[in-house]
Structure 1
Amino acid sequence: MPQIDTIIFDLGGVLIDWNPRYLYRKIFKTEAEVTWFLDNICTSAWNIEQDGGRSFADATELLVAKHPEWEEPIRAYYGRFTESFNGAIQETVEILDHIKNKTDYRLYALTNWSAESWPHAMETFPFLHWFEGIVVSGVEKTRKPFHDIYQIVFDRYSVNPERAIFIDDNHDNVEASKQLGVTGIHFKSSAQLREDLQKLGVLS
Protein backbone atom coordinates (compact mmCIF):
# COMPACT_ATOMS: atom_id res chain seq x y z
CA MET A 1 0.00 0.00 0.00
CA PRO A 2 1.46 3.42 -0.98
CA GLN A 3 2.22 5.80 1.88
CA ILE A 4 -0.66 8.11 2.75
CA ASP A 5 0.03 11.81 2.08
CA THR A 6 -3.47 13.35 1.81
CA ILE A 7 -6.50 13.55 4.11
CA ILE A 8 -9.89 14.56 2.64
CA PHE A 9 -12.66 15.56 5.05
CA ASP A 10 -16.40 15.73 4.56
CA LEU A 11 -17.85 18.72 6.45
CA GLY A 12 -21.50 18.35 7.53
CA GLY A 13 -21.78 15.69 10.22
CA VAL A 14 -17.99 15.43 10.57
CA LEU A 15 -16.74 18.95 11.32
CA ILE A 16 -19.98 20.96 11.27
CA ASP A 17 -23.10 20.07 13.27
CA TRP A 18 -25.89 20.67 10.74
CA ASN A 19 -29.30 19.10 11.15
CA PRO A 20 -32.70 20.49 10.08
CA ARG A 21 -34.12 19.06 13.28
CA TYR A 22 -32.59 22.00 15.15
CA LEU A 23 -34.85 24.32 13.14
CA TYR A 24 -37.99 22.21 13.13
CA ARG A 25 -37.90 21.61 16.87
CA LYS A 26 -38.74 25.32 17.07
CA ILE A 27 -41.64 24.93 14.63
CA PHE A 28 -43.30 21.68 15.71
CA LYS A 29 -44.33 20.67 19.20
CA THR A 30 -43.09 17.08 19.28
CA GLU A 31 -40.12 15.10 17.98
CA ALA A 32 -42.58 12.78 16.22
CA GLU A 33 -43.94 15.71 14.20
CA VAL A 34 -40.41 16.79 13.27
CA THR A 35 -39.55 13.27 12.15
CA TRP A 36 -42.72 12.92 10.08
CA PHE A 37 -42.17 16.25 8.33
CA LEU A 38 -38.55 15.49 7.45
CA ASP A 39 -39.41 11.95 6.34
CA ASN A 40 -42.37 12.99 4.17
CA ILE A 41 -42.16 16.66 3.12
CA CYS A 42 -38.67 18.26 3.29
CA THR A 43 -36.88 14.97 2.78
CA SER A 44 -33.16 14.34 2.50
CA ALA A 45 -33.72 13.23 -1.12
CA TRP A 46 -35.28 16.64 -1.86
CA ASN A 47 -32.52 18.57 -0.06
CA ILE A 48 -29.67 16.71 -1.76
CA GLU A 49 -30.83 17.99 -5.17
CA GLN A 50 -29.91 21.49 -3.94
CA ASP A 51 -26.48 20.13 -3.04
CA GLY A 52 -26.27 19.07 -6.68
CA GLY A 53 -27.04 22.56 -7.97
CA ARG A 54 -30.81 23.12 -7.89
CA SER A 55 -31.68 26.57 -6.54
CA PHE A 56 -33.36 27.11 -3.18
CA ALA A 57 -36.13 29.04 -4.93
CA ASP A 58 -36.90 26.27 -7.43
CA ALA A 59 -36.79 23.61 -4.74
CA THR A 60 -39.08 25.56 -2.44
CA GLU A 61 -41.69 26.36 -5.09
CA LEU A 62 -41.69 22.75 -6.29
CA LEU A 63 -42.51 21.51 -2.79
CA VAL A 64 -45.03 24.26 -1.99
CA ALA A 65 -46.93 23.40 -5.18
CA LYS A 66 -46.95 19.74 -4.17
CA HIS A 67 -47.81 20.31 -0.48
CA PRO A 68 -49.52 23.71 -0.20
CA GLU A 69 -50.86 22.88 3.26
CA TRP A 70 -47.26 22.82 4.52
CA GLU A 71 -46.17 26.06 2.85
CA GLU A 72 -44.96 27.88 5.95
CA PRO A 73 -42.67 25.12 7.32
CA ILE A 74 -41.43 24.35 3.78
CA ARG A 75 -40.37 27.97 3.27
CA ALA A 76 -38.66 27.91 6.65
CA TYR A 77 -36.21 25.24 5.49
CA TYR A 78 -34.14 27.73 3.50
CA GLY A 79 -35.69 30.94 4.81
CA ARG A 80 -34.34 30.07 8.27
CA PHE A 81 -31.51 27.83 7.08
CA THR A 82 -28.93 29.13 9.55
CA GLU A 83 -31.06 27.82 12.42
CA SER A 84 -30.20 24.27 11.30
CA PHE A 85 -26.60 24.77 12.46
CA ASN A 86 -25.39 23.96 15.95
CA GLY A 87 -21.78 25.09 15.63
CA ALA A 88 -18.67 23.05 15.00
CA ILE A 89 -18.01 19.46 16.11
CA GLN A 90 -15.17 20.65 18.28
CA GLU A 91 -13.51 17.29 18.91
CA THR A 92 -13.09 16.76 15.15
CA VAL A 93 -11.85 20.32 14.67
CA GLU A 94 -9.14 19.51 17.24
CA ILE A 95 -8.11 16.46 15.16
CA LEU A 96 -8.01 18.65 12.05
CA ASP A 97 -5.94 21.25 13.89
CA HIS A 98 -3.44 18.59 14.97
CA ILE A 99 -3.09 17.20 11.44
CA LYS A 100 -2.59 20.71 10.05
CA ASN A 101 -0.06 21.91 12.58
CA LYS A 102 1.75 18.75 13.72
CA THR A 103 1.98 16.65 10.53
CA ASP A 104 2.87 17.03 6.86
CA TYR A 105 -0.36 15.64 5.38
CA ARG A 106 -2.13 17.62 2.67
CA LEU A 107 -5.64 18.62 3.73
CA TYR A 108 -8.69 18.96 1.48
CA ALA A 109 -12.45 18.92 1.91
CA LEU A 110 -15.16 17.40 -0.29
CA THR A 111 -18.67 18.42 0.67
CA ASN A 112 -22.24 18.03 -0.53
CA TRP A 113 -23.29 21.65 0.05
CA SER A 114 -25.43 24.13 -1.83
CA ALA A 115 -23.58 26.92 -3.62
CA GLU A 116 -26.14 29.39 -2.21
CA SER A 117 -25.40 28.68 1.46
CA TRP A 118 -21.68 28.00 1.05
CA PRO A 119 -20.59 31.66 1.60
CA HIS A 120 -22.34 31.59 5.00
CA ALA A 121 -20.36 28.49 5.97
CA MET A 122 -17.06 30.11 4.96
CA GLU A 123 -17.87 33.15 7.09
CA THR A 124 -19.06 31.12 10.07
CA PHE A 125 -16.40 28.43 10.44
CA PRO A 126 -12.79 29.75 10.43
CA PHE A 127 -11.29 26.25 10.19
CA LEU A 128 -12.61 25.94 6.63
CA HIS A 129 -9.72 28.20 5.67
CA TRP A 130 -7.24 25.61 6.94
CA PHE A 131 -7.77 23.39 3.90
CA GLU A 132 -5.55 23.67 0.83
CA GLY A 133 -8.68 23.29 -1.27
CA ILE A 134 -12.41 22.53 -0.94
CA VAL A 135 -14.66 20.98 -3.59
CA VAL A 136 -18.32 22.01 -3.09
CA SER A 137 -20.98 19.95 -4.84
CA GLY A 138 -23.36 22.84 -5.52
CA VAL A 139 -20.60 24.75 -7.28
CA GLU A 140 -19.55 21.74 -9.35
CA LYS A 141 -23.17 20.73 -10.19
CA THR A 142 -22.53 17.15 -9.13
CA ARG A 143 -22.36 15.45 -5.75
CA LYS A 144 -21.25 12.47 -3.73
CA PRO A 145 -21.50 9.53 -4.15
CA PHE A 146 -21.11 10.10 -7.93
CA HIS A 147 -17.55 9.26 -8.92
CA ASP A 148 -17.01 12.40 -10.97
CA ILE A 149 -16.89 14.68 -7.92
CA TYR A 150 -14.10 12.62 -6.34
CA GLN A 151 -12.26 12.81 -9.65
CA ILE A 152 -12.49 16.61 -9.48
CA VAL A 153 -10.53 16.50 -6.22
CA PHE A 154 -7.92 14.15 -7.69
CA ASP A 155 -7.43 16.19 -10.86
CA ARG A 156 -7.63 19.71 -9.42
CA TYR A 157 -5.22 19.07 -6.56
CA SER A 158 -3.03 16.32 -8.06
CA VAL A 159 -4.17 13.79 -5.45
CA ASN A 160 -3.22 10.15 -5.88
CA PRO A 161 -6.32 8.27 -4.59
CA GLU A 162 -4.17 5.38 -3.39
CA ARG A 163 -2.32 7.80 -1.11
CA ALA A 164 -5.45 9.48 0.27
CA ILE A 165 -7.84 8.95 3.18
CA PHE A 166 -11.44 10.14 2.87
CA ILE A 167 -13.61 10.73 5.96
CA ASP A 168 -17.42 10.97 5.66
CA ASP A 169 -20.42 10.25 7.90
CA ASN A 170 -22.38 8.85 4.93
CA HIS A 171 -21.65 5.17 4.28
CA ASP A 172 -22.46 5.37 0.56
CA ASN A 173 -20.03 8.24 0.08
CA VAL A 174 -17.26 6.28 1.81
CA GLU A 175 -17.95 3.19 -0.30
CA ALA A 176 -17.77 5.28 -3.48
CA SER A 177 -14.35 6.59 -2.45
CA LYS A 178 -13.13 3.04 -1.81
CA GLN A 179 -14.22 2.03 -5.32
CA LEU A 180 -11.79 4.68 -6.60
CA GLY A 181 -8.87 3.37 -4.56
CA VAL A 182 -9.12 5.72 -1.57
CA THR A 183 -8.83 4.51 2.03
CA GLY A 184 -12.27 5.35 3.42
CA ILE A 185 -13.27 6.03 7.03
CA HIS A 186 -16.98 5.97 7.90
CA PHE A 187 -17.26 8.67 10.57
CA LYS A 188 -19.46 7.81 13.55
CA SER A 189 -17.79 9.88 16.28
CA SER A 190 -14.70 11.99 16.84
CA ALA A 191 -13.31 9.37 19.23
CA GLN A 192 -13.74 6.63 16.63
CA LEU A 193 -12.11 8.83 13.98
CA ARG A 194 -9.12 9.48 16.23
CA GLU A 195 -8.74 5.75 16.81
CA ASP A 196 -8.98 4.93 13.10
CA LEU A 197 -6.41 7.60 12.21
CA GLN A 198 -4.07 6.25 14.88
CA LYS A 199 -4.36 2.75 13.35
CA LEU A 200 -3.47 4.24 9.96
CA GLY A 201 -0.45 6.02 11.43
CA VAL A 202 -1.79 9.54 10.83
CA LEU A 203 -2.02 10.33 14.54
CA SER A 204 0.48 9.12 17.09
Structure 2
Amino acid sequence: MSSANIRHIVFDIGKVLIHYDPRLPYCRIIPDEAERNWFFANVCTHDWNVEQDRGRSWEEAEDMLIRAHPDREDQIRSFRKCWHEMVPHAYVETVSLMEGLINEGRDVTMLTNFASDTFREAQKLYPFLTLPRGVTVSGDVGLIKPEVAIYRAHAKAFDLDPAATLFIDDSMPNVEGARSAGWHAVHFTDPEKLKVDLACYGIQH
Protein backbone atom coordinates (compact mmCIF):
# COMPACT_ATOMS: atom_id res chain seq x y z
CA MET A 1 0.00 0.00 0.00
CA SER A 2 1.25 3.48 -0.79
CA SER A 3 2.14 5.67 2.14
CA ALA A 4 0.69 8.67 0.32
CA ASN A 5 -2.21 10.48 1.96
CA ILE A 6 -4.44 11.06 -1.06
CA ARG A 7 -6.91 13.89 -0.54
CA HIS A 8 -7.61 14.79 -4.18
CA ILE A 9 -8.63 12.46 -7.04
CA VAL A 10 -8.50 13.74 -10.62
CA PHE A 11 -10.16 11.88 -13.50
CA ASP A 12 -9.42 12.08 -17.19
CA ILE A 13 -12.61 11.81 -19.28
CA GLY A 14 -12.14 10.31 -22.76
CA LYS A 15 -11.64 6.51 -22.62
CA VAL A 16 -11.93 6.65 -18.82
CA LEU A 17 -15.47 7.93 -18.24
CA ILE A 18 -16.84 8.06 -21.78
CA HIS A 19 -15.91 6.18 -24.94
CA TYR A 20 -14.29 8.18 -27.72
CA ASP A 21 -13.55 7.00 -31.25
CA PRO A 22 -13.45 9.57 -34.07
CA ARG A 23 -13.69 6.84 -36.68
CA LEU A 24 -17.21 5.75 -35.72
CA PRO A 25 -19.24 8.14 -37.92
CA TYR A 26 -16.75 7.78 -40.75
CA CYS A 27 -17.61 4.11 -41.22
CA ARG A 28 -20.78 5.57 -42.71
CA ILE A 29 -19.32 8.74 -44.26
CA ILE A 30 -16.39 6.97 -45.97
CA PRO A 31 -17.42 3.31 -46.30
CA ASP A 32 -14.22 2.22 -48.03
CA GLU A 33 -11.72 1.24 -45.34
CA ALA A 34 -8.60 2.10 -47.34
CA GLU A 35 -9.97 5.54 -48.21
CA ARG A 36 -11.05 6.07 -44.61
CA ASN A 37 -7.57 5.19 -43.34
CA TRP A 38 -6.05 7.60 -45.87
CA PHE A 39 -8.40 10.36 -44.70
CA PHE A 40 -7.36 10.01 -41.06
CA ALA A 41 -3.69 9.74 -41.97
CA ASN A 42 -3.67 12.76 -44.28
CA VAL A 43 -6.66 15.05 -43.64
CA CYS A 44 -8.37 14.94 -40.23
CA THR A 45 -5.25 13.67 -38.50
CA HIS A 46 -4.66 13.22 -34.79
CA ASP A 47 -2.27 16.18 -34.77
CA TRP A 48 -4.89 18.37 -36.48
CA ASN A 49 -7.53 17.44 -33.91
CA VAL A 50 -5.18 18.03 -30.97
CA GLU A 51 -4.99 21.70 -31.89
CA GLN A 52 -8.75 22.04 -31.24
CA ASP A 53 -8.05 20.52 -27.82
CA ARG A 54 -5.43 23.25 -27.41
CA GLY A 55 -7.99 25.94 -28.21
CA ARG A 56 -8.04 26.46 -31.98
CA SER A 57 -11.54 27.16 -33.27
CA TRP A 58 -13.29 24.62 -35.44
CA GLU A 59 -13.84 27.33 -38.06
CA GLU A 60 -10.12 27.95 -38.38
CA ALA A 61 -9.37 24.23 -38.31
CA GLU A 62 -11.89 23.41 -41.02
CA ASP A 63 -10.88 26.34 -43.24
CA MET A 64 -7.25 25.23 -43.14
CA LEU A 65 -8.06 21.70 -44.26
CA ILE A 66 -10.62 22.75 -46.87
CA ARG A 67 -8.05 25.03 -48.53
CA ALA A 68 -5.71 22.04 -48.80
CA HIS A 69 -8.40 19.47 -49.69
CA PRO A 70 -11.33 21.33 -51.31
CA ASP A 71 -12.80 18.11 -52.67
CA ARG A 72 -13.11 16.81 -49.10
CA GLU A 73 -15.10 19.71 -47.64
CA ASP A 74 -18.16 17.72 -46.59
CA GLN A 75 -16.04 14.99 -45.04
CA ILE A 76 -13.96 17.56 -43.16
CA ARG A 77 -17.00 19.41 -41.80
CA SER A 78 -18.49 16.08 -40.71
CA PHE A 79 -15.81 15.75 -38.03
CA ARG A 80 -17.42 18.46 -35.90
CA LYS A 81 -20.94 17.98 -37.24
CA CYS A 82 -20.98 14.29 -36.28
CA TRP A 83 -18.86 14.63 -33.15
CA HIS A 84 -21.66 13.33 -30.91
CA GLU A 85 -21.43 9.98 -32.71
CA MET A 86 -17.80 9.69 -31.59
CA VAL A 87 -18.84 9.51 -27.91
CA PRO A 88 -21.55 6.83 -28.05
CA HIS A 89 -21.61 5.61 -24.46
CA ALA A 90 -20.26 6.04 -20.96
CA TYR A 91 -18.08 3.54 -19.10
CA VAL A 92 -20.76 2.76 -16.56
CA GLU A 93 -18.53 1.00 -14.02
CA THR A 94 -15.97 3.82 -13.96
CA VAL A 95 -18.71 6.43 -13.66
CA SER A 96 -20.15 4.46 -10.74
CA LEU A 97 -16.73 4.45 -9.08
CA MET A 98 -16.41 8.21 -9.52
CA GLU A 99 -19.92 8.85 -8.21
CA GLY A 100 -19.19 6.65 -5.21
CA LEU A 101 -16.05 8.64 -4.38
CA ILE A 102 -18.01 11.89 -4.62
CA ASN A 103 -20.79 10.50 -2.43
CA GLU A 104 -18.19 9.51 0.17
CA GLY A 105 -17.19 13.16 0.35
CA ARG A 106 -13.87 12.79 -1.46
CA ASP A 107 -12.53 15.71 -3.46
CA VAL A 108 -12.96 14.79 -7.13
CA THR A 109 -12.10 16.98 -10.11
CA MET A 110 -11.45 16.32 -13.80
CA LEU A 111 -8.60 17.23 -16.15
CA THR A 112 -9.17 16.64 -19.84
CA ASN A 113 -7.86 17.29 -23.33
CA PHE A 114 -11.07 18.48 -24.97
CA ALA A 115 -12.18 21.26 -27.30
CA SER A 116 -14.14 23.83 -25.33
CA ASP A 117 -17.42 23.56 -27.21
CA THR A 118 -17.47 19.78 -27.54
CA PHE A 119 -16.86 19.45 -23.81
CA ARG A 120 -20.02 21.48 -23.11
CA GLU A 121 -21.83 19.21 -25.55
CA ALA A 122 -20.47 16.18 -23.69
CA GLN A 123 -21.80 17.55 -20.39
CA LYS A 124 -25.27 17.74 -21.92
CA LEU A 125 -25.00 14.19 -23.26
CA TYR A 126 -23.54 12.89 -19.98
CA PRO A 127 -24.76 14.94 -16.99
CA PHE A 128 -22.47 13.05 -14.58
CA LEU A 129 -19.68 15.22 -16.00
CA THR A 130 -21.15 18.06 -13.92
CA LEU A 131 -20.86 16.15 -10.61
CA PRO A 132 -17.17 16.65 -9.70
CA ARG A 133 -16.07 19.86 -7.97
CA GLY A 134 -14.73 21.22 -11.22
CA VAL A 135 -12.81 20.57 -14.41
CA THR A 136 -9.86 21.93 -16.34
CA VAL A 137 -10.54 21.71 -20.08
CA SER A 138 -7.46 22.06 -22.28
CA GLY A 139 -9.36 24.06 -24.89
CA ASP A 140 -10.34 26.61 -22.23
CA VAL A 141 -6.85 27.17 -20.83
CA GLY A 142 -4.71 26.81 -23.95
CA LEU A 143 -2.60 24.08 -22.36
CA ILE A 144 -2.65 20.37 -23.04
CA LYS A 145 -1.61 17.09 -21.45
CA PRO A 146 1.05 15.82 -21.09
CA GLU A 147 2.58 19.31 -20.73
CA VAL A 148 3.47 19.81 -17.06
CA ALA A 149 1.96 23.30 -17.15
CA ILE A 150 -1.63 22.03 -17.38
CA TYR A 151 -1.25 19.89 -14.25
CA ARG A 152 0.20 22.85 -12.39
CA ALA A 153 -2.63 25.07 -13.63
CA HIS A 154 -5.21 22.52 -12.46
CA ALA A 155 -3.60 22.20 -9.04
CA LYS A 156 -3.52 25.97 -8.66
CA ALA A 157 -7.12 26.45 -9.84
CA PHE A 158 -8.49 23.88 -7.41
CA ASP A 159 -6.00 24.34 -4.56
CA LEU A 160 -4.64 20.81 -4.79
CA ASP A 161 -1.55 19.62 -2.95
CA PRO A 162 0.34 17.74 -5.71
CA ALA A 163 1.76 15.21 -3.22
CA ALA A 164 -1.80 14.41 -2.07
CA THR A 165 -3.27 14.17 -5.58
CA LEU A 166 -4.00 10.98 -7.54
CA PHE A 167 -4.58 11.21 -11.31
CA ILE A 168 -6.34 8.59 -13.44
CA ASP A 169 -5.72 8.58 -17.23
CA ASP A 170 -5.76 6.03 -20.06
CA SER A 171 -2.64 7.54 -21.69
CA MET A 172 0.78 6.66 -20.27
CA PRO A 173 2.35 9.93 -21.50
CA ASN A 174 -0.38 11.80 -19.57
CA VAL A 175 0.27 9.66 -16.50
CA GLU A 176 3.99 10.46 -16.75
CA GLY A 177 3.16 14.16 -17.19
CA ALA A 178 1.22 14.12 -13.94
CA ARG A 179 4.10 12.42 -12.14
CA SER A 180 6.46 15.06 -13.50
CA ALA A 181 4.19 17.64 -11.83
CA GLY A 182 4.61 15.86 -8.50
CA TRP A 183 1.28 14.02 -8.58
CA HIS A 184 0.61 10.36 -8.01
CA ALA A 185 -0.92 8.80 -11.12
CA VAL A 186 -2.29 5.47 -12.32
CA HIS A 187 -2.78 4.14 -15.83
CA PHE A 188 -6.42 3.30 -16.54
CA THR A 189 -7.12 0.14 -18.51
CA ASP A 190 -10.37 -1.11 -16.96
CA PRO A 191 -12.55 -0.52 -13.87
CA GLU A 192 -11.34 -3.61 -12.00
CA LYS A 193 -7.70 -2.54 -12.26
CA LEU A 194 -8.73 0.95 -11.14
CA LYS A 195 -10.34 -0.51 -8.02
CA VAL A 196 -7.08 -2.30 -7.23
CA ASP A 197 -5.04 0.84 -7.89
CA LEU A 198 -7.30 2.90 -5.62
CA ALA A 199 -7.02 0.27 -2.90
CA CYS A 200 -3.23 0.49 -3.13
CA TYR A 201 -3.63 4.12 -2.09
CA GLY A 202 -5.94 3.18 0.77
CA ILE A 203 -9.07 4.18 -1.15
CA GLN A 204 -11.47 1.28 -0.79
CA HIS A 205 -14.58 1.09 -2.91
TM bucket normalised to smaller: over 0.9
Paired position in structure 1 for 2:111: 110
Aligned 8 A contact 2:170 2:187 in 1? yes
Corresponding residue pairs, total: 203
1:175 is paired with a residue of what secondary structure?
Answer: helix
Paired position in structure 2 for 1:180: 181
Paired position in structure 2 for 1:133: 134
Counting only pairs closer than 5 Å after superposition, residues 60-75 of structure 1 correspond to structure 2 as 60-75=62-77
Aligned counterparts of 1:34 and 1:93: Cα–Cα separation in 2: 32
Paired position in structure 1 for 2:148: 147
Counting only pairs closer than 5 Å after superposition, residues 1-204 of structure 1 correspond to structure 2 as 1-101=3-103, 103-204=104-205
1:49 Cα deviation from its structure 2 partner: 0.3
Which segments of 5 or more consecutive residues in structure 2 lack a partner in the other structure?
A: none
1:21 is paired with a residue of what secondary structure?
Answer: coil
1:73 Cα deviation from its structure 2 partner: 1.1
Q: Which runs of 4+ in 1 moved over 3 A?
A: 30-36
1:116 is paired with a residue of what secondary structure?
Answer: helix
Aligned 8 A contact 2:175 2:186 in 1? yes
Structure 2 CA distance for partners of 1:99 and 1:32, relative to 1, 3 Å: farther
Aligned 8 A contact 1:55 1:116 in 2? no
Aligned counterparts of 2:179 and 2:11: Cα–Cα separation in 1: 14
Aligned counterparts of 1:34 and 1:97: Cα–Cα separation in 2: 38
Aligned 8 A contact 1:64 1:70 in 2? yes
1:33 Cα deviation from its structure 2 partner: 3.9
Aligned counterparts of 2:41 and 2:80: Cα–Cα separation in 1: 17
Aligned counterparts of 1:100 and 1:45: Cα–Cα separation in 2: 34
Aligned 8 A contact 2:8 2:106 in 1? yes
Aligned counterparts of 1:38 and 1:175: Cα–Cα separation in 2: 27
1:109 Cα deviation from its structure 2 partner: 0.2
1:145 Cα deviation from its structure 2 partner: 1.2
TM-score, reference length from structure 2: 0.93
Root mean square deviation, CA, Å: 1.5
TM-score, reference length from structure 1: 0.93
1:20 is paired with a residue of what secondary structure?
Answer: coil
Q: Deviations over 1:126-152 (max 9, x none)?
A: 111210011111111111111111111
Aligned counterparts of 1:26 and 1:136: Cα–Cα separation in 2: 30
